[in-house]
Amino acid sequence: MRKALSIAGVNAKRLTRDRIGLFFLFVFPIILILLLGVTFGSGFVPRVGVVSENSGELGAELATALAEEANLEAERFPSEQSLTDAIERGEVDAGVVIPEGYDERLRAGDEAEIEYTARAGSNTTAIRTTVDALVVDQGARVRAALFASERGAGDFEETSQVARSLAAEGPTVDVTVRSQGEDTFEGLGQYDLGASSQLVLFMFVNSLGACIALIQSRRLGVSRRMLSTPMSAGTIVVGETFGRFFVAMIQGVFIILAASLLFGVKWGDPLGASALLTAFALVSTGAAMLFGAILSNEQQAGALTPLSLGLAALGGCMVPLEVFSPTMQTIAHLTPHAWAVEGFTDLIRTDAGITDIALQIVVLLGFATALLAAASWRLHKSITH
């Protein structure tokens, strides 16, 4: 066992000398978790730009209503051109231009056109619906005020105040929204789900990348020369396996601790998270060992990066499994990534314990056993023949 641990220690020393490898092991995953959390984790609040220069009192009233709307984030712009530039740059999702003379036209009973602009292809249906509702609401009050003033109930200002009061005091329709089942997203942090998916992605990708060292050892005859020492082929296989397993575990533990300390990620039950992490580290190690034992050179190993990224995408590391069709979800579970992502998701969303994710752990251990057995047999054969 001591000799096997010595081989594992040599693999760890190789890691510390590879600065690019260290970056992708420890720094890049944290950067990506940060970017995903900032971009997608805090939810989507539609941003609307508003231009209301010289639009009068009613124009200012509509602009204020847009700014106070809870479902929108409104920003004022000085001109239509500046608003158009902001929409094209993606600074706002849509824009509303309240024309000059808006107030005078409405008071005179004339039509007034409000310009609505959105980026091509952007999903702005919710914004348009909210803007339409506010415009229709104001239009109804103005028509009521004009109708009353024309019949001698007072001037427009007086009837307009009465219309606002009646609108505020009038009957409303309450819509009650109920969700069936438990709200599994309630209490989730901004970075929680992104951290777990990136943990699974990078553990597998970097483990496969580490198989290059094993390929080099085989190609240069280092592994065979070890047999001239008091060291068996089995010890060499165990040492190489330990080395890759330790690296995978170190990376996984680092991501979990860093995400917890820097971003407040809650990983759920510690025992369940530890068991799941260990099981997936064994899967990653088995895959790295198998490819390291069967590939002939470093150029062939270059194809492993798109393969590992494809497996990660299929397994739900880039797009949540929930958006997949039932057929695609079944296919996704042919990958170990889907089982690991599912396990971490249950831990984070529903406060599941180790018994609740026992199936995921057992399946991952099955993947690991098959991969490690095949890798050990192939590497033992390549060393001794």
Q: What's the pLDDT tens digit per position in 285-299?
A: 999 999 999 998 888
Do 103 and 227 lie in one domain? The reply is no
Question: Measured in whole angstroms, how far is the alpha carbon of residue 268 from the centre of its chain?
Answer: 18
- Within a domain: 178: no
**Measured between alpha carbons, how far is 175 from 308 in angstroms, rounded to an integer?**
47
Do 102 and 225 lie in one domain? The reply is no
Question: For residue 1, what pLDDT is reported?
Answer: 64
340: confidence class by pLDDT, cuts 50, 70, 90: very high
- Within a domain: 309: yes
Bridge partners for 73 per DSSP = 47
Domain end: 163, 179, 206, which one? 163
**Measured between alpha carbons, how far is 93 from 103 in angstroms, rounded to an integer?**
26
Q: State yes or no: pLDDT of 332 exceeds 90.
A: yes
- Within a domain: 133: yes
185: confidence class by pLDDT, cuts 50, 70, 90: very low
Do 136 and 220 lie in one domain? The reply is no
Mean pLDDT taken over the chain: 83
- Within a domain: 169: no
Do 116 and 248 lie in one domain? The reply is no
Q: State yes or no: pLDDT of 184 exceeds 50.
A: no
Do 255 and 313 lie in one domain? The reply is yes
Q: Find out whether 290 and 374 touch, Cβ atoms under 8 Å.
A: yes
Do 264 and 245 lie in one domain? The reply is yes
- Comparing C-alpha atoms, which of 156, 58, 160, 37 is closest to residue 101? 58
Q: Which token pair is 366?
A: 């099955």
- Within a domain: 179: no
- Within a domain: 183: no
Do 27 and 142 lie in one domain? The reply is no
179: confidence class by pLDDT, cuts 50, 70, 90: very low
Question: For residue 210, what pLDDT is reported?
Answer: 79
Q: Find out whether 197 and 317 touch, Cβ atoms under 8 Å.
A: yes
Do 325 and 200 lie in one domain? The reply is yes
- Within a domain: 286: yes
What does 239-251 look like in DSSP terms, one character per residue? HHHHHHHHHHHHH
Collect all residues with Cβ–Cβ distance below 8 Å to 273 and sequence separation of at least 6.
Answer: 256, 267, 344, 347
Do 79 and 194 lie in one domain? The reply is no
Question: For residue 183, what pLDDT is reported?
Answer: 45
Q: What is the CATH number of the domain that holds 109?
A: 3.40.1710.10
Gyration radius of the chain over CA positions:
31
Q: Which token pair is 295?
A: 């590939």
The residue range of the domain holding 110 is 47-163
Question: For residue 20, what pLDDT is reported?
Answer: 81
Give the number of domains in the chain.
Answer: 2
Percent of the chain with pLDDT over 70: 85
Do 140 and 243 lie in one domain? The reply is no
Q: Identify the DSSP state of 51.
A: E
Residue keyed to tokens 């019949």: 151
- Within a domain: 214: yes
Domain end: 125, 148, 163, which one? 163
Q: State yes or no: pLDDT of 148 exceeds 50.
A: yes
Do 141 and 26 lie in one domain? The reply is no
Q: Find out whether 119 and 88 touch, Cβ atoms under 8 Å.
A: yes
Do 198 and 159 lie in one domain? The reply is no
Q: What's the pLDDT tens digit per position in 70-86?
A: 778 889 999 999 998 88
Q: Which token pair is 53?
A: 């220069």
Q: What's the pLDDT tens digit per position in 216-253?
A: 877 877 767 776 676 777 787 888 888 889 989 999 99
- Pairing of the two strands 73-76 and 47-51: parallel
